[in-house]
Amino acid sequence: MLLLLSYLIILRHTGDKWTRQAEELPLHRVIDSTIFLTKVLLDESDDVIEIERDLFLDQHSGIQIAKEKCSESDASSYENYLSDNMPMLKSRLKSLYLLLDGLEKKGKF
């Protein structure tokens, strides 16, 4: 029997062990976080991310998020991270997409 929790418990690694530090997210917020991450990684235009109306729960108007100014060092570090990790990130998002698409075709949602 599978028990589905209504919250995701976030664990932290403190260097020598994993600890639970009262980080609980409702499952819909985990999904919202994935949506937001996808928008940030793949749907940026002119340093602005458009969040269309009703994309997130209880978000009744569209919003724009401008890219924050940061030091050249921080920007370089971020770009290096994306360069090194984008193929893996896209692969994980593609797996999620294929799973959801398959479930939709089966009439699961």
**Looking at the domain assignment, is residue 86 inside a domain?**
yes
The single-letter DSSP state of residue 58 is: T
**Looking at the domain assignment, is residue 98 inside a domain?**
yes
b/e burial code for range 76-91 (CB count within 10 A of at least 16 → b): eeeeeeeeeeeeeeee
What is the predicted pLDDT for the residue at 54?
Answer: 94
**Looking at the domain assignment, is residue 47 inside a domain?**
no
The pTM score is 0.75
What is the predicted pLDDT for the residue at 11?
Answer: 66
CA-based R_g, the chain, Å: 17
Q: At what angle do helices 27-42 and 72-105 cross, to 10 degrees?
A: 120
What is the predicted pLDDT for the residue at 83?
Answer: 94
**Looking at the domain assignment, is residue 56 inside a domain?**
no
What is the predicted pLDDT for the residue at 1?
Answer: 44
**Looking at the domain assignment, is residue 24 inside a domain?**
no
**What's the total number of domains in the chain?**
1
pLDDT, averaged in runs of 10, over the chain (109 residues): 58 71 75 91 89 91 89 91 95 97 95
Domain residues for the domain of 89 are: 70-109
What is the predicted pLDDT for the residue at 8?
Answer: 63
Looking at the DSSP bridge assignments, the partners of residue 7 are: 26
Helix runs in the chain, H state only: 27-42, 72-105
What is the predicted pLDDT for the residue at 100?
Answer: 96
